[in-house]
């Protein structure tokens, strides 16, 4: 019981880091462009995971030294690296697109709204699954309708208009939904931490091209944005992901996913506390509806899995 509480708190800490990172991203945009921010934070996230990979390799080193399986082991290792490289490139491509849209959207919207709109990926995933021929429960469809209502209250202004920033962040949520599906395909085949490290490296390198083409990164401005970059790169990309890997091994999927969805709540609270952002009663109601929809979207499929196990 005590250990479960510990893992719950650690996963809540990860959700807090992800949610509050929206504030860091918003503040970072005051000094540097979105591609510069994404390139630096992604490369930093990749570097942060290297010591974790080194420790894991050190622990598993004994198995690789077995003489009987040396030839087969080399072939298997080569295949694993090929799959890891393919997975890292695919995940990195989708992640680059998603993060770029998110970063561009945050320039024109609040951190709190960006957090809630990004969290819609949890709803978009089952919708994409339905188009791919997978069954979607009634509760999930009800959640989608509830989320769309919440989005309307949160984003649509007078005269039935939606801001450019809100639209970009919604597209980013679609991108993150695709990213989840790509990760879901490759993660059983390769080590999760290595896949994350590889995708962050690909994302950092891909973001570097438009950074030099469309933005003019200046060292003095990058240094002025060092705190948001470090927070997003070191904590959000590196630490939070590692916490997720550690804690999910010890928690039920339903509990873990619900705790991770608290990211959206922490995004709004962080925007309110740090950036003094204010949400109207209409927008707060939209936030509540989206959050309820996120929970509804996760419950049906998780419960089915638990009952059949």
pLDDT in tens, the chain (309 residues): 566 778 888 888 888 888 888 778 778 888 888 889 989 999 999 998 898 888 888 877 645 555 545 555 677 788 888 999 999 999 899 989 988 888 788 778 876 677 778 778 777 877 887 787 777 677 777 877 887 788 778 766 666 577 888 889 889 989 988 887 888 788 778 888 888 899 899 999 999 999 999 888 889 999 998 999 998 899 888 888 777 767 766 766 545 666 776 777 777 777 777 767 777 788 788 878 877 876 776 564 544 444 444
* Residue ranges per structural domain of the chain: 2-59+75-308
What does the chain come to in residues?
Answer: 309
* CB contact set of 16 (below 8 Å; sequence gap of 6+): 262, 263, 266
**Is residue 127 within 8 Å of 136, Cβ to Cβ?**
yes
**Is residue 119 within 8 Å of 264, Cβ to Cβ?**
yes
Instruction: Please tell me the pTM assigned to this model.
Output: 0.75
Helix H segments across the chain? 2-28, 34-59, 61-64, 70-106, 111-118, 121-131, 138-155, 164-186, 192-214, 219-224, 226-230, 240-248, 253-260, 263-274, 281-308
């Amino acid at each position: 019981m005590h250990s479960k509480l510990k893992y719950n708190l650690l996963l809540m800490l990860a959700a807090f880091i992800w949610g509050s990172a929206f504030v860091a991203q918003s503040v970072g945009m005051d000094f540097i462009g979105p591609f510069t921010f994404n390139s630096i934070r992604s490369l930093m996230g990749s570097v942060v995971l290297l010591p974790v990979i080194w420790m894991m390799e050190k622990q598993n080193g004994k198995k690789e030294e077995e003489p009987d399986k040396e030839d087969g082991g080399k072939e298997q290792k080569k295949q694993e690296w090929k799959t890891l490289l393919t997975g890292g490139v695919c995940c990195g491509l989708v992640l680059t697109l998603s993060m770029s849209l998110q970063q561009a959207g945050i320039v024109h919207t609040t951190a709190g709204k960006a957090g809630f709109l990004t969290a819609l990926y949890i709803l978009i995933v089952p919708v994409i699954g339905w188009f791919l021929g997978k069954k979607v429960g009634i509760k999930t469809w009800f959640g989608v309708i509830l989320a769309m209502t919440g989005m309307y209250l949160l984003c649509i202004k007078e005269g039935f208009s939606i801001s450019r920033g809100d639209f970009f962040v919604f597209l980013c949520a679609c991108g993150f939904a695709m990213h989840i599906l790509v990760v879901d395909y490759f993660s059983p085949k390769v080590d999760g931490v290595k896949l994350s490290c590889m995708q962050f490296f690909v994302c950092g390198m891909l973001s570097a091209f438009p950074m030099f083409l469309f933005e003019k990164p200046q060292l003095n401005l990058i240094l002025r944005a060092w705190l948001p970059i470090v927070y997003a790169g070191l904590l959000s990309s590196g630490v939070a992901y590692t916490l997720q890997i550690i804690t999910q091994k010890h928690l039920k999927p339903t509990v873990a996913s619900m705790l991770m969805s608290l990211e959206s709540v922490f995004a709004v609270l962080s925007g309110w506390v740090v950036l003094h952002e204010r949400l109207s009663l209409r927008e707060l109601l939209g936030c509540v509806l989206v959050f309820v929809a996120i929970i509804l979207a996760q419950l049906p499929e998780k419960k089915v899995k638990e009952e059949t196990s």
